[in-house]
Amino acid sequence: MTDAIDVRALHKRYGRRTALHALDLQVRPGSVFGLIGPNGAGKTTTLRTLLDVIRPSSGTVRVLGEDPRRGGPDLRRRIGYVPGELHLEGRASGHRLLSFYAEVSGMTGSKDAVLRTARELGDRLGVDLDRPVRTLSKGNKQKVGLIQAFMHRPELLILDEPTSGLDPLVQREFLAMVREVREAGQTVLLSSHVLSEIQQAADEVAVLAAGRIVAEGDVASLRLGSIRRVRVRVDDADAAEVSAALTALAGVEGVEAPGRGLLTATIEGAIDPFVKAISRFEVHELTVEEPDLEESVLRLYGDNREGDDREGGR
Ligand code: ATP
């Protein structure tokens, strides 16, 4: 079966800076593929290339079997896209705007059906589509952006940081929408710098750092979730002893004692030895969270954040 997205040796330069280095990316039809990476990794550049918003310096790109440079409106109609930076400033209401999109893009399926879906999605996400879009908050504008991408049930959804600005409940609804389109056989490529979101949504993941894919596979195999930051508060009098106990544990690093019985550390791998180690003390507070993606990527895959083109004149 033809891949929904097939990118080979994609190179993108902005002047002297190389944003993408020989990127290869294949997305199977009917799957949810997550592209994650710290800010500036090249996610937006990759996605824009798929939509022919920008053009590759070299390499080949196929989207739904077509070259985006030649696919034109027919190809665009088969894709739903949420850009990373959405600007909705007009006087028109959300509903009018969506109606306009439905018309200009000559969507497959009846316009009524598309707009009915838009209304349903508006209700689910909790956005008032009768208000002028320019009066909507950032999060509500983002919801309108999501609706325009989903409403015509495109074969492929390309979503650039789709949940930015959305509160946690709406993020959950969004993840449910992604699961539903996947069940309907549609393909989703989404980018994020939030690991937990990708872990919940994606079948497969590629980790992008400094314009290169540094890891690829199913979410579990990437181990990105195996690094956690912990914060524990014990009696002040116990802090030194707890600190020593934690420092002695394999997989625990960066133990710090910022004061008043508070200790912070990073754990890689199993959390059980940590739990056992603190259990003999009185614990007043305990937080376990994932570290930011940049930190995880750097720890697991090393620092290759150089911004300059070190490959010379391609
Ligand atoms: P973010 O999450 O911050 O949006 P990203 O992973 O989407 O990051 P890109 O926006 O693709 O990253 O940027 C990749 C690199 O290319 C960065 O170093 C960025 O500064 C550079 N870049 C992006 N667009 C341009 C441009 N139009 N001109 C010059 N450099 C650019």
245 lines ligand 1 (CB under 6 A): no
pLDDT at 221: 73
| Last residue within a domain, chosen from 152, 186, 219 | 219
What the block records as the tokens of 39 is 């800010």
Tell me how far apart the alpha carbons of residues 213 and 217 are, in angstroms, rounded to a whole number.
Answer: 11
194 lines ligand 1 (CB under 6 A): no
- Cα 307 to ligand 1 centre (Å): 10
Q: Give me the CATH number covering residue 59.
A: 3.40.50.300
Judgement on whether residues 212 and 228 belong to the same structural domain of the protein = no
pLDDT at 309: 43
- Cα 20 to ligand 1 centre (Å): 10
Judgement on whether residues 112 and 197 belong to the same structural domain of the protein = yes
Judgement on whether residues 86 and 180 belong to the same structural domain of the protein = yes
> What secondary structure letter does DSSP report for 185?
T
| For residue 279, pLDDT beyond 60 | yes
pLDDT at 108: 61
Judgement on whether residues 102 and 153 belong to the same structural domain of the protein = yes
Which span out of 65-74, 219-228, 293-302 was modeled with the highest average pLDDT? 65-74
Point out the ligand 1 atom lying closest to the alpha carbon of residue 41: 6
pLDDT digits (tens, 9 = 90+) for 122-132: 999 999 999 99
Judgement on whether residues 191 and 65 belong to the same structural domain of the protein = yes
Place of tokens 């390309």: 158
pLDDT at 192: 87
Q: Whose CA is nearest to atom 17 of ligand 1?
A: 40
pLDDT at 103: 81
Sheet architecture: strand order including 204-209: 79-82, 156-160, 187-192, 32-36, 204-209, 212-218
pLDDT at 21: 94
Kindly state whether residue 102 falls inside one of the protein's structural domains. Answer: yes
- Residue 104's pLDDT band, with cuts at 50, 70 and 90, is confident
Judgement on whether residues 33 and 102 belong to the same structural domain of the protein = yes
pLDDT at 198: 84
Judgement on whether residues 33 and 129 belong to the same structural domain of the protein = yes
Q: Mean per-residue pLDDT for 196-213?
A: 88
Point out the ligand 1 atom lying closest to the alpha carbon of residue 84: 4
- The contacts of residue 272 (CB under 8 Å, 6+ apart) are none
Q: Which domain holds residue 235?
A: 224-301
Cα 165 to chain center, whole Å?
13
Judgement on whether residues 92 and 179 belong to the same structural domain of the protein = yes
- Residue 1's pLDDT band, with cuts at 50, 70 and 90, is confident
- Cα 57 to ligand 1 centre (Å): 15
| Last residue within a domain, chosen from 219, 236, 268 | 219
| For residue 63, pLDDT beyond 70 | yes
How does the average pLDDT of the chain come out, rounded?
Answer: 88
- Cα 56 to ligand 1 centre (Å): 14
193 lines ligand 1 (CB under 6 A): yes
- Of 16, 44, 51, 57, the one to substitute when testing ligand 1's pocket (max ligand atoms within 8 A of C-beta) is 44
| For residue 270, pLDDT beyond 90 | no
Count up the domains in the chain and report the number: 2
Locate all alpha helices (DSSP H) within 83-228, ordered by sequence: 94-104, 111-125, 138-150, 168-183, 195-201
Judgement on whether residues 48 and 186 belong to the same structural domain of the protein = yes
45 lines ligand 1 (CB under 6 A): yes
308 lines ligand 1 (CB under 6 A): no
Q: Whose CA is nearest to atom 21 of ligand 1?
A: 19
Point out the ligand 1 atom lying closest to the alpha carbon of residue 48: 11
Judgement on whether residues 19 and 141 belong to the same structural domain of the protein = yes
- Residue 223's pLDDT band, with cuts at 50, 70 and 90, is low
| Entry pTM | 0.83
What the block records as the tokens of 139 is 């999060």
Kindly state whether residue 308 falls inside one of the protein's structural domains. Answer: no
Q: Mean per-residue pLDDT for 210-231?
A: 82
